[in-house]
């Protein structure tokens, strides 16, 4: 499964386009976000992406969870969003 990483500076429409492309191609995508700003941009992107893929008959669902990731040798807690077609 492809993993997209979103930051607080990511543009929601751009991320939504990437989400839509990956979901159309492979049926699922994982998104990782660290920090409140990144999670905010991710949630906006998911909402926009649902609108992009719904005309294709794709009902995008989101399964959030926590993940431990390594950033510059330091372990951080990320929010992981698994997106797939229902």
Pairing state between β 3-6 and 28-33: parallel
CATH number for the domain spanning 8: value is: 3.30.110.20
Instruction: Quote the domain boundaries for residue 12.
Output: 3-85
Number of domains in the chain: 1
pTM of the model: 0.90
Residue 80 near residue 35 (C-beta atoms within 8 A): no
pLDDT for residue 52: 94
- pLDDT for residue 86: 84
| Residue 51 near residue 19, CB atoms below 8 Å | no
pLDDT in tens, 18-77: 999 999 999 999 999 999 999 999 999 999 999 999 998 999 999 999 999 888 888 999
Q: What is the pLDDT of residue 14?
A: 96
Q: Longest Cα pair distance anywhere in the chain, in angstroms? A: 42
| pLDDT at residue 35 in the model | 92
Residue 11 host element (H or E): none
Locate the DSSP E strands across the chain.
3-6, 28-33, 60-71, 74-85
């Amino acid at each position: 499964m492809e993993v997209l990483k979103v930051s607080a500076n990511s543009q929601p429409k751009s991320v939504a386009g990437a989400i839509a492309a990956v979901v159309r191609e492979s049926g699922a995508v994982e998104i990782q976000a660290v920090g409140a700003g990144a999670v905010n941009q991710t949630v906006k992107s998911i909402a926009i992406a649902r609108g992009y893929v719904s005309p294709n008959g794709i009902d995008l669902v989101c399964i959030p969870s926590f993940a431990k990731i390594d950033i510059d040798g330091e372990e951080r807690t990320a929010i992981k969003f698994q997106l797939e077609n229902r």
